[in-house]
Structure 1
């Protein structure tokens, strides 16, 4: 189950990054802001999960 969640998280991140870059290059600032916020949220979530997992193994 954790591998499946990792893959879905990774695919979702790639899709959000693709939509963000497409909206940024086409100058759709509302969508770029929205998907930029989602990307920052995902990066922060991945950082916190990585920190939590590293602390668990010690």
Structure 2
């Protein structure tokens, strides 16, 4: 009985996390579409950090 309950709980948790991530992705995607500059600035910052570490 415990094994069945554990598997059901883990499955329910996985489905919940999936929908939670899906809804978060739906909310955040329009911001990136409206402001593509923010995304490119983040990439530039990452490249500068890599250059500082390697240099």
Give the alignment's TM-score, normalised by structure 1: 0.49
Q: Which has the larger radius of gyration?
A: 2
Runs of 4 or more consecutive aligned structure 1 residues displaced over 6 Å after TM superposition: none
What is the RMSD computed on CA atoms of the aligned residues?
A: 0.8
2:11 is the counterpart of 1:34: no
Q: Deviations over 1:15-44 (max 9, x none)?
A: xxxxxxxxxxxxx11100001000000111
- 5+ residue gaps in structure 2? 32-55
2:43 is the counterpart of 1:52: no
- 5+ residue gaps in structure 1? 1-27
